[in-house]
Structure 1
């Protein structure tokens, strides 16, 4: 998507891979949610989510699933034996245990070279602050994972510095959303993400026109240290 001239090699940290298996990931409880590992038995609830047109309009494929088998194939990426390649979870209502969404790191190497955060919630539950509650809890879970020093090729605008070399670069998590998805923009900003780049792509709903995408970045090490996003961080 982006030319090689816009990429730079950086030394940074990242959660040690393979990631912990889902069997070792304890459920996390927040004020209104239970965030737990996904299991194959979640297929039906996942299908309900992935057949809501407004939810899927903001997804990578831009359409609802054709049938339950397609949903099962999507779920397979997050359950054993593939669970150690993602850090993705079921989002459930604490009061009832009902699964209302999914979210987490579904891609360890986004188009920017960093791990990518994404989430989906059932449309009827939008606007209640549940997405923000999930994202904040998930970021805490992500920050607590063991780290390893790694070398990544990343988009230069996504890093705190646009220079590579031997100096360690602050670890980042990436998320992006469409310009018209104001709700997700607010969720990310309230959770500590910083907008760093805008670019255009064909609109999945109407490929004849283009839509702006907003890229956001989050620095786990800075937040773990209790620093503000701007402290010692060069904004793009």
Structure 2
């Protein structure tokens, strides 16, 4: 995998491929029950769990089904979350976006900064026309983040996913390439 193609830079962040050397940083947030609460997965328990997650990130690129960046702070190089695409359907020009962020960085605009860079990359480099976000109704922080960044709610998918011993309803949100242009013009 050519990780040079995966690097994104923002004002405060460096988005790059996750590596085994990031496992300890990643375990800090992936083991936090509050961070994992709305992911449909149990909190991670070991670095081996994290290494499996890193393998999955790399498999997304290899299989052309997505791409996942580790979110690192420019000033420290510490990995504090991830953001990227999965369930990519190249023939339909769409993908689903997902993200998580270490709790100590919530409410600082970091998730928004990473999300904006990833969405722009999806439209400009992956040729996406549509980016989807599936969010649990009680994940209010994620709902605010997505809406603030121009995604529109399309509806409720009832019992759409099964995880952690239960069926979850998910809101379907999307942003189209033409919506991004409108959002960026409105913020200028």
TM-score bucket (shorter structure): 0.7 to 0.9
- Structure 1 residues not aligned, in runs of 5+: 1-20, 148-169, 229-236
Q: TM-score, normalised by structure 1?
A: 0.66
Distance verdict in 2 for CA 1:114–1:27, change over 3 Å: closer
- Structure 2 residues not aligned, in runs of 5+: 184-188
Match of 1:56 among 32, 36, 49: 36
What displacement does 1:96 show?
Answer: 1.4
Distance across 2 between alignment mates of 1:124 and 1:69: 23
1:74-106 deviation per Cα after TM superposition (whole angstroms, max 9, x unaligned): 110123x65333211010112211110011013
Q: Which has the higher helix share?
A: 2
Contact 1:176–1:215 (CA<8 Å) still a contact in 2?
Answer: yes
Distance across 1 between alignment mates of 2:7 and 2:40: 27
Q: TM-score, normalised by structure 2?
A: 0.82
Match of 2:56 among 77, 84, 108: 77
Tell me the number of residue pairs that the alignment of Structure 1 and Structure 2 aligns. Answer: 179
Which residue number corresponds to residue 142 of structure 2? 184
Flag as ranges the 4+ runs of structure 1 deviating above 4 A: 202-206
Which residue number corresponds to residue 79 of structure 2? 99
Could you say what secondary structure the match of 2:171 adopts?
A: strand
Which residue number corresponds to residue 172 of structure 2? 215
Contact 1:88–1:102 (CA<8 Å) still a contact in 2?
Answer: yes
Contact 1:57–1:205 (CA<8 Å) still a contact in 2?
Answer: no
Distance across 1 between alignment mates of 2:45 and 2:18: 21
What displacement does 1:107 show?
Answer: 2.8
1:191-224 deviation per Cα after TM superposition (whole angstroms, max 9, x unaligned): 11111011332885673xx65421101112x146
Which residue number corresponds to residue 167 of structure 1? none
Distance verdict in 2 for CA 1:203–1:115, change over 3 Å: closer
